[in-house]
Structure 1
């Protein structure tokens, strides 16, 4: 059976409160790497919105469509070099990923149910502090854009 490679199209979902506190989660496979919810499409036909809803549920247990939650497509994309430690997940010759940005406003900070396979810790921070903690420059930039989209 051929290996199942990741699709180099993903979402980055900034989860935040009306007060602009941002949820960050720490990767299990890279301690100290804090990030927003991220994840690749499962199929080429899966929409970015569908990917965002699925990834938020898988990584945090949050239902992005719950009453009081607002999932908004920011209609922005980043194209970046895939980190070397994760290149093996993609087909040979694939070096770039297209990341689509969305925001999810929830009514207030809450504890989330992390997927222990992917994440080991969570923290809520004011958005400027959260941007400083993000390991990915594109994630930090997205968090700093939050007031524009909130």
Structure 2
């Protein structure tokens, strides 16, 4: 890469709803947008990076919660096998290659014990809070994130999700 070239974000990302057994959802506040509360999100670093790898990396980077292979929270990371395709907000399109307007977001959930410590990356997020799933959905800025929170109880108790 030369000094004048720019690395663009890959328009393939993950959304990870982190929750307790009581369905309290972790929301984190973005550092670059006032009152923008969300679940863990992030784009692939490489085209060949799996969505699962991306989810595990982003959870660790954004919250300090370790769900990488071999950790005690590796198994509770569940791939919902659901994807959203949405228009990238204009304020963030400059991060993507020219002409890219849509992103594909793959959904995951991670069940953690109540009281799990959270360590934010201050460059990305400034605050966190645990909310009951309905309240979390109402607090999410992104419609796809709100919808994921609303899916949580249905997927948690149907056998698709432990």
How high is the TM-score relative to the length of structure 1? 0.97
Alpha-carbon shift at residue 99 of structure 1 (Å): 0.2
1:67 to 62, 66, 72: 72
Query: What per-residue deviation string (whole Å, max 9, x for no partner) do you get for residues 110-145 of structure 1?
Result: 331100000000000000000000000000000000
1:12 aligns with 2:8: no
For residues 109 and 33 of structure 1, the distance between their equivalents in structure 2, rounded to whole angstroms, comes to: 23
Relative distance call for 1:115 and 1:134 in structure 2 (3 A) is same
1:58 to 47, 57, 61: 61
Alpha-carbon shift at residue 32 of structure 1 (Å): 0.1
Which ranges in structure 2 are unaligned for 5 or more consecutive residues?
157-162
Q: Which has the larger radius of gyration?
A: 2
Paired residue secondary structure (1:54): helix
- Over aligned residue pairs, what C-alpha RMSD do you find? 1.0
The within-5 A match list for 1:1-150 is 1=2, 2-65=5-68, 66-68=71-73, 70-150=76-156
**Structure 1 runs, 4 residues or longer, greater than 6 Å off:** none
- Figure out how many residues of one structure are paired with residues of the other and give that number: 150
